[in-house]
Chains A and B, each alone.
Chain A
Amino acid sequence: MAKLSFITPKKKSLLDIESKILIVFLIIAATLIIGFSTFLFVKSYAKGSSSEDMSKQIAVMSKEIERYKYQARQIQELRLKADEVYTTNELLRESIKNLFDLVPDQITLTRSIMQKKRLVLYGVTPSKEVYNFMLLSPLKSIFHENKTTFYSLENGWYRFVSVNILHGETGVAQ
């Protein structure tokens, strides 16, 4: 503060009004750039973290998919097995139906064992001829090998055990 001057000095500014305006605009521009950069940085960071989460989720989902695929394969296998069983059962049912269709009224079956390539029949026949003509003939047309054993009963009938064997691929389910 000048004590001896007749006037008081005015405050000096380093910049004229044009420079001040220019600097204000530069500051605004710099602020916008910095703000936008910060926004982008934050966004990209958030994106990064979310992509990491997504990767983890993808990994989990992949495992889930693998598990489901495995389950699907198992189900498929089960289904195939079920189909196979169903088919076998169908075949078996057909075979049993055919078998029972084969058995004439005079012969009574007491027991039958159906294996894949073997059919064992237990029953009672009034006579060996009835058995041979009416049951053995159709069995022979189906099985490659037939063995029959007769046991005579007191009433003159015969208990028989017929073992029929198939060779090769074809056969019936148990």
Chain B
Amino acid sequence: MIKNWFKNLWPDSYIVFSQVPEGMNVTEYINSSGSVETVEEESFVLEDDRISTEMVEYVRDFLSAYPKTQLIYLTSAQSCSAVGTCSKAEMAQMDVDTSIIKTICKGEFSSYISTMDLENDNMLFKPLELDYIYSPFFLVDEVKSDYPGTALICLHRQNQLIISIYKEGKFIYGDHVVISALEEFEEDQEAGEEIEDDLDADFDLDELDDSDLDDLDDLDDIEEMEDEGMEDDLEEQIEEDDMEQDAELKEYDLKIYSAIKESIEKFYGDESVQSDFVEYMEILDTVALSRNIYELIKDEIFCEVDSRNIDLHREVLELMLKDT
């Protein structure tokens, strides 16, 4: 009875953090009468690679009301990756320096993070004290759909890809790709050709015939056009802006595609794992990619692609609840 009274007074509460390029996303949850409900979602910018004082105050306000709140962070550390073994000896054979990492084993695979990045994650949240730091590979392992063959599961966070490859449901390969760390897109010949093709399709002068040339206005009409000019200029400017934005989006999508492709190539070329042809790909999307990328993957990588939008923080919370 006293336990229930305490539960009602101080219900289980959680705050989930995840880092994005713009700063830190924060979601507060409360377990009220058995169901975990979202209280509030907020985003904060970082100040000198630390959480802002505004965010500290925000979290402390919640902590003062719910002192038993668990602070959970899904790490974004670049050193965080995963391998298909729990044996340190086998990890050493895969060129993983086990002396400078913290490893957590889950079933038959393990995820690791460098002790320095782990310390950085803790420092990032000073003066708050985190309770849990989870690897995104464990999140992928919990959220993924089952597939009988070789499947690539890709968790897409803004500017980050967590790539896990499973064979018969068993984890065999993991890769953590940070998009901003990729080489400049223009240097990627293959992806560059794709963009050129797209642009050529819109502006190929060779494809214009005589009737099209007749439709062009004479030079005499230019003065008239100047009179009507202002509104047209504005419309053109907007169209140009839209095109620029589309191009940026397309560039990002292509970077994602390129990263996935590179990761698959690395997987195929990795002698430490038993490579197999990737038959299925599931993209767990937290940002909303454009549909074009799925078509591109289907056409270029020749595998079945499914995508699923997930609530990242909710899934992290579910992982933590399952883990404790």
Q: Contacts A7-B118, A9-B131, A14-B10 hold; do A2 and B320 have CB atoms under 8 A apart?
A: yes
Cross-chain contact of A4 among B10, B70, B113, B134 (Cβ < 8 A)? B134
Chain B residues positioned under 8 Å from A1 (CB to CB): 324
Asked if A170 is an interface residue, CB under 8 A from chain B, the answer is: no
Asked if A167 is an interface residue, CB under 8 A from chain B, the answer is: no
Asked if B132 is an interface residue, CB under 8 A from chain A, the answer is: yes
Asked if B68 is an interface residue, CB under 8 A from chain A, the answer is: yes
Q: Which of B202-248 contact A (CB under 8 A)?
A: none
Could you tell me the distance in whole angstroms from the C-beta of A15 to the nearest C-beta in chain B?
A: 7
B133 touching A7, Cβ below 8 Å: yes
A5→B134 CA distance, assembly (Å)? 5
A16→B113 CA distance, assembly (Å)? 32
B102 touching A6, Cβ below 8 Å: yes
Asked if A111 is an interface residue, CB under 8 A from chain B, the answer is: no
* Residue of A with least CB distance to B102: A6
* Residue of B with least CB distance to A6: B133
B323 touching A10, Cβ below 8 Å: no
* Residue of B with least CB distance to A3: B323
Interface size class of A (residues with CB under 8 A): 10 to 19
B132 touching A9, Cβ below 8 Å: yes
Asked if B130 is an interface residue, CB under 8 A from chain A, the answer is: yes
A9→B12 CA distance, assembly (Å)? 14
* Residue of A with least CB distance to B69: A12
A111→B319 CA distance, assembly (Å)? 142
Q: Which of B113-127 contact A (CB under 8 A)?
A: 113, 118, 122
Asked if A155 is an interface residue, CB under 8 A from chain B, the answer is: no
Chain B residues positioned under 8 Å from A12 (CB to CB): 67-70
Q: Which of A6-34 contact B (CB under 8 A)?
A: 6-7, 9-10, 12-16
A65→B106 CA distance, assembly (Å)? 98
Chain A residues positioned under 8 Å from B122 (CB to CB): 7
A5 touching B67, Cβ below 8 Å: no
A3→B135 CA distance, assembly (Å)? 12
A13→B68 CA distance, assembly (Å)? 7
Chain A residues positioned under 8 Å from B106 (CB to CB): 3-4
A13→B129 CA distance, assembly (Å)? 13
* Residue of A with least CB distance to B80: A6
* Residue of B with least CB distance to A5: B132
Asked if B138 is an interface residue, CB under 8 A from chain A, the answer is: yes
A4 touching B68, Cβ below 8 Å: no
Chain B residues positioned under 8 Å from A15 (CB to CB): 67
* Residue of A with least CB distance to B142: A4
* Residue of B with least CB distance to A16: B67
Cross-chain contact of B104 among A6, A13, A14, A16 (Cβ < 8 A)? A6
Chain A residues positioned under 8 Å from B323 (CB to CB): 2-5
Could you tell me the distance in whole angstroms from the C-beta of A104 to the nearest C-beta in chain B?
A: 122
* Residue of A with least CB distance to B130: A7
- With a 10 A CB-CB cut-off, give which of B67, B68, B129 has the most chain A CB atoms: B67
B118 touching A6, Cβ below 8 Å: yes
A1→B10 CA distance, assembly (Å)? 20
Asked if B75 is an interface residue, CB under 8 A from chain A, the answer is: yes
Q: Contacts A1-B324, A14-B10 hold; do A6 and B68 have CB atoms under 8 A apart?
A: no
Chain B residues positioned under 8 Å from A2 (CB to CB): 132, 320, 323-324
A170→B236 CA distance, assembly (Å)? 163
A3→B141 CA distance, assembly (Å)? 14
Chain A residues positioned under 8 Å from B113 (CB to CB): 6
* Residue of A with least CB distance to B75: A6
* Residue of A with least CB distance to B9: A14
- What are 8 A-B pairs at a CB distance below 8 A? A4-B104, A5-B320, A6-B102, A6-B113, A7-B132, A7-B133, A12-B68, A15-B67
Given known contacts A4-B106, A5-B132, A6-B113, what 16 new A-B pairs fall within 8 Å (CB)? A2-B132, A2-B320, A2-B323, A3-B106, A4-B134, A4-B135, A4-B319, A6-B104, A9-B132, A12-B67, A12-B68, A12-B70, A13-B67, A14-B10, A15-B67, A16-B67
Which A residues contact B (CB, under 8 angstroms)?
1-7, 9-10, 12-16
